[in-house]
């Protein structure tokens, strides 16, 4: 009898919605946006050399990739809700290490934060594929970009400004957002996701499902799009601020450019309508072609540094377009029985790009100026444009219109 006095939302959790996941993503974006421009500056101040920064990012990427491949296996031992909570705890420990200062604690802090990002990303993607219908994926991606747009537009420049005000301040605020993210996650009562079928055999080796991934060309292509797009963002986020410092433009231009670029996220609804009128294939190819061309053009910054900032800023608009549509070829091809495993594979794009980008930059900087990194990124984006030509011309057309 007493149960009738318990509110309905407590007795029966509401079905997770696109809007709920967008709110959860906004908190995650707030944590990362606050520090995205801070990490390269702190690392550059500590190490004093772009090549040394590249080496740190390279090994951090290796560690994050190893963790990402282990998450599905760990997920068979640890309930998904606790895996997500573990990612939140990483978001608290990483900034604390950075506040301690010094090369080793700061590098470890960056590594821990990267581990939190990959753990949360894998868990959240699995939740989304459990609860959101395929016909709603395009709307979900657009709403996530729109909701998190303010965080990404304000966070980078605010983080740099707070860093100048008091060095620990951006890290402390990021920790506050992480606490809010954890509270929102538990309030949504997502549990451990939907059970597709009961396991009839022992948990496979963490690398066993890679064979199934490589046997599906659509998944491989979708993953490559995510990797190359992410490499473009890595160059923009990490190496543009360093280029600005070395060119005498100051340490705030990079944060301002990134914040202005992220304001393009507010245009996501218009980008979605444009994609619906055309196709996923057309949107993906347009984004890679324009971004790659502008990255190559930005090498003109060797003669006049502001030109590189202008060209890369223009390229960032098309990277945002790719943020909206670049993941859809992969998400639309995943089988329901492989959601958790393929979510882990897909999330590895962050870590693989976090290895490839500083690794290539490391090699380029051995014999070329920093603008050479922009050229290498442009070549990679144009390669993705070529690969995207193999996508089906009407991919996602009916579902996106649904």
DSSP code string of 121-188: HHHHHHHHHHHS-GGGHHHHHHHHHHHHHHHHHHHHHHHHHHHHH-TTHHHHHHHHHHHHHHHHHHHH
End-to-end C-alpha distance for the chain, whole angstroms? 44
CB burial of 147-158 (b: ≥16 within 10 Å; e: otherwise) equals bbbbbbbbbbbb
CA distance 111 to 344: 18
User: What's the distance, CA 73 to chain centroid?
Assistant: 22
CB-CB contact of 185 with 87 (8 Å): no
CB-CB contact of 275 with 318 (8 Å): no
Burial of 136 (0-12, 13-18, 19+ CB in 10 A): middle
DSSP assigned state of 306: H
CA distance 164 to 52: 23
Query: Token pair of 162, please?
Result: 């707070």
Q: How many CB atoms lie within 10 A of CB 390?
A: 10
Backbone angles phi, psi at 195, to 5 degrees: -90, 115
Q: At what angle do helices 305-325 and 137-165 cross, to 10 degrees?
A: 140
Query: Token pair of 157, please?
Result: 């420049």
DSSP code string of 75-131: HTTS-HHHHHHHHHHHHHHHHHHHHH-SHHHHHHHHHHHHHHHHHHHHHHHHHHHHH
pLDDT, position 398: 47
Query: What architecture is the 16-193+207-401 domain classified under in CATH?
Result: Up-down Bundle (1.20)
Q: 6: which residues sit within 8 A by CB, 6+ positions away?
A: none
> To which residue do tokens 């649904």 refer?
402
Prediction pTM value: 0.76
Helices H, strands E: what count in the chain? 19, 0
pLDDT in tens, the chain (402 residues): 444 544 443 444 556 667 778 888 889 999 999 998 899 989 998 888 888 888 999 999 888 888 877 877 787 788 888 999 999 999 999 999 999 988 899 999 999 999 999 889 888 877 877 776 665 666 666 777 777 878 888 888 899 999 989 999 999 999 999 999 999 898 887 766 554 334 444 444 445 667 778 878 888 888 999 999 999 999 998 899 889 988 888 878 888 888 888 888 778 778 878 887 888 888 889 999 999 999 999 999 999 999 999 999 999 999 989 988 777 777 777 776 676 667 767 777 877 898 899 999 989 999 889 999 999 999 999 999 998 887 766 655 544 444
User: What's the distance, CA 251 to chain centroid?
Assistant: 23
CB-CB contact of 68 with 351 (8 Å): yes
Q: How many CB atoms lie within 10 A of CB 205?
A: 9
pLDDT, position 22: 81
| Sequence spans of domains, the chain | 16-193+207-401
Of 327, 231, 213, the C-alpha closest to 280 is 327
- C-alpha distances out from residue 18 to 7, 138, 333, 379, Å: 23, 10, 20, 35
CB burial of 258-291 (b: ≥16 within 10 Å; e: otherwise) equals bbebbebbebbeebbebbbeebbbbbbbbbbbbb
CA distance 228 to 252: 26
- 3 state SS of 389: coil
- C-alpha distances out from residue 309 to 92, 136, 249, 298, 312, Å: 33, 36, 10, 7, 5
């Amino acid at each position: 009898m007493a149960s009738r006095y318990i509110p309905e939302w407590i007795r029966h959790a509401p079905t997770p919605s696109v809007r709920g996941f967008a709110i959860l993503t906004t908190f995650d974006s707030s944590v990362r946006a606050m520090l995205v421009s801070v990490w390269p500056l702190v690392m550059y101040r500590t190490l004093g050399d772009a090549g040394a920064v590249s080496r740190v990012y390279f090994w951090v990427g290796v560690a994050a990739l190893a963790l990402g491949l282990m998450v599905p296996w760990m997920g068979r031992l640890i309930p998904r809700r606790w895996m997500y909570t573990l990612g939140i705890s990483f978001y608290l420990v990483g900034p604390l290490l950075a506040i301690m200062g010094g090369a080793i604690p700061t590098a470890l802090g960056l590594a821990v934060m990267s581990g939190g990002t990959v753990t949360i990303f894998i868990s959240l993607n699995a939740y989304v594929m459990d609860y959101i219908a395929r016909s709603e994926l395009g709307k979900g991606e657009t709403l996530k970009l729109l909701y998190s747009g303010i965080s990404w537009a304000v966070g980078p420049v605010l983080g740099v400004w707070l860093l100048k005000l008091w060095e620990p301040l951006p890290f402390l605020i990021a920790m506050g957002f992480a606490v809010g993210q954890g509270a929102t996650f538990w309030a949504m009562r997502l549990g451990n996701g939907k059970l597709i079928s009961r396991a009839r055999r022992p948990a496979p080796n963490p690398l066993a499902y890679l064979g199934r991934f490589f046997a599906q060309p659509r998944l491989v292509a979708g993953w490559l799009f995510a990797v190359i797009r992410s490499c473009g963002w890595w160059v923009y986020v990490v190496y543009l601020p360093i280029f600005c410092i070395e060119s005498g433009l100051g340490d705030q231009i990079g944060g301002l450019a990134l914040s202005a670029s992220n304001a393009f996220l507010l245009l996501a609804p218009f980008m979605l309508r444009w994609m619906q009128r055309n196709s996923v294939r057309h949107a993906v190819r347009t984004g890679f072609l324009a971004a790659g061309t502008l990255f190559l053009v930005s090498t003109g910054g060797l003669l006049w540094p502001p030109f590189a900032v202008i060209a890369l800023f223009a390229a960032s608009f098309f990277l945002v377009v790719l943020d909206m549509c670049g993941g859809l070829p992969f998400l639309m091809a995943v089988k329901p029985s492989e959601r958790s495993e393929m979510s882990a594979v897909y999330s590895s794009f962050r870590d693989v790009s976090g290895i490839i980008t500083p690794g290539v930059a490391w090699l380029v900087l051995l014999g070329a100026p920093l603008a050479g990194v922009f050229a290498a990124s442009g070549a990679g984006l144009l390669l993705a444009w070529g690969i995207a030509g193999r996508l089906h011309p009407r991919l996602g057309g009916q579902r996106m219109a649904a």
